[in-house]
């Protein structure tokens, strides 16, 4: 109660509506004082706790998983071999495809256009079986020496299918990288008397790599997981990748869920490792291009921009 000039005690007027804080606003103010890293750790801790609870409720055979994890992990070697060989082939095809797409040659544009259209328009699993099963039939129809040349083992067929498929998708990545380089760079190189190959090798491609490398890392991570599809073609025990080993072992011991869970954790681990290195590479490549912007942003946090 408040006393005013007349001596009467009256209640103070209520605060304006815009001064009242709702529970949501109070929570947002409190949340803003908590470091972002701490909140992120808390979210991950809750998710992991839920997964551990579900894992315990499902009554998995943990002892079996521990005993056979080593056998499944031996497939990591072949998973990485297939992925590395495939990404090398995909990069070579993507570069040729991108150069064909940006050229003014009708034959190059037509061939690269057909290549990207077919391999982006059909499922990868279908392409795997076409290369592994259909090519030998074509070779037999053509006769020697094509019968031997077109009969491929599982590893070669898998690498070829993955490389062709991802090369078609990465063609657009390489094309965008090449076209991101200013046209004046090409004109300057031509003015210096450089031939087309010299211009691309010395001027255009080094600058385009800044745009090409980050999405190529994403493609490699996706390809590493798609190596599991090669298992559908079958493989000898000494060349089996992660999923194939988990599949056979789970069926033999009637522990399919446990085996697939071990394989999933291994793929997750590999993906996490390569995502870490990819992030570091992206930061390194972007240093010279975001430094000025970052400096302005940081300065703006402490000083007002003069008008």
Domain ranges of the chain: 77-235
pLDDT given for residue 221 in this prediction: 92
Q: Mind giving me the DSSP string for 171-215?
A: HHHHHHHHHHS-HHHHHHHHHTT--HHHHIIIIIHHHHHHHHHHH
pLDDT given for residue 297 in this prediction: 39
What is the CATH code for 77-235? 1.10.3720.10
Please give the Cα distance from 262 to 68 (Å, whole number): 9
Instruction: Using alpha carbons, list the distances in angstroms from residue 261 to 76, 270, 302.
Output: 15, 14, 49
pLDDT given for residue 293 in this prediction: 42
Please give the Cα distance from 65 to 8 (Å, whole number): 81
Matching residue, tokens 């004109």:
187
pLDDT per residue as tens, the chain (307 positions): 555 555 555 555 555 555 556 777 777 777 778 888 888 899 989 998 898 888 777 778 888 998 999 999 999 999 999 999 999 999 999 999 999 998 888 999 999 999 999 999 999 999 999 999 998 898 888 888 888 888 888 999 999 999 999 999 999 999 999 888 888 888 888 888 888 888 888 888 888 888 898 889 999 999 999 999 998 888 777 778 899 999 999 988 888 889 999 999 999 999 999 999 888 888 887 776 554 444 433 334 444 444 4
pLDDT given for residue 306 in this prediction: 43
């Amino acid at each position: 109660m408040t006393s005013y000039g007349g001596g009467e005690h009256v209640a103070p007027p209520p605060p304006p509506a815009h001064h009242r804080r709702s529970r949501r606003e109070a929570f947002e103010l409190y949340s803003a004082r908590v470091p972002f890293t701490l909140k992120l750790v808390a979210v991950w801790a809750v998710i992991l706790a839920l997964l551990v609870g579900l894992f315990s409720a499902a009554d998995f055979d943990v002892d079996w998983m521990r005993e056979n994890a080593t056998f499944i992990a031996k497939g990591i070697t072949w998973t990485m071999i297939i992925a590395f060989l495939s990404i090398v082939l995909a990069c070579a095809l993507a570069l040729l495809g991108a150069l064909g797409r940006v050229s003014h040659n009708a034959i190059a544009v037509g061939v690269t256009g057909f290549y990207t259209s077919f391999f982006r328009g059909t499922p990868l699993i279908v392409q795997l079986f076409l290369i592994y099963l259909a090519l030998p039939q074509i070779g037999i129809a053509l006769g020697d020496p094509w019968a031997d040349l077109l009969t491929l083992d599982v590893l070669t067929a898998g690498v070829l299918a993955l490389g062709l498929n991802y090369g078609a998708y990465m063609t657009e990545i390489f094309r965008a990288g090449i076209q991101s380089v200013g046209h004046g760079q090409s004109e300057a190189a031509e003015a210096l008397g450089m031939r087309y190959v010299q211009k691309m090798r010395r001027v255009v491609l080094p600058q385009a790599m800044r745009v090409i490398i980050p999405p190529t890392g994403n493609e490699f991570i996706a390809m590493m997981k798609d190596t599991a599809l090669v298992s559908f073609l079958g493989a000898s025990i000494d060349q089996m990748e992660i999923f194939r080993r988990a599949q056979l072992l789970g069926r033999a011991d009637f522990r399919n869920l446990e085996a697939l869970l071990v394989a999933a954790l291994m793929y997750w681990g590999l993906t996490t490792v390569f995502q870490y290195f990819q992030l570091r590479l992206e930061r390194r490549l972007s240093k010279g291009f975001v430094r000025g912007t970052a400096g302005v942003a940081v300065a703006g946090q402490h000083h007002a921009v003069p008008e």
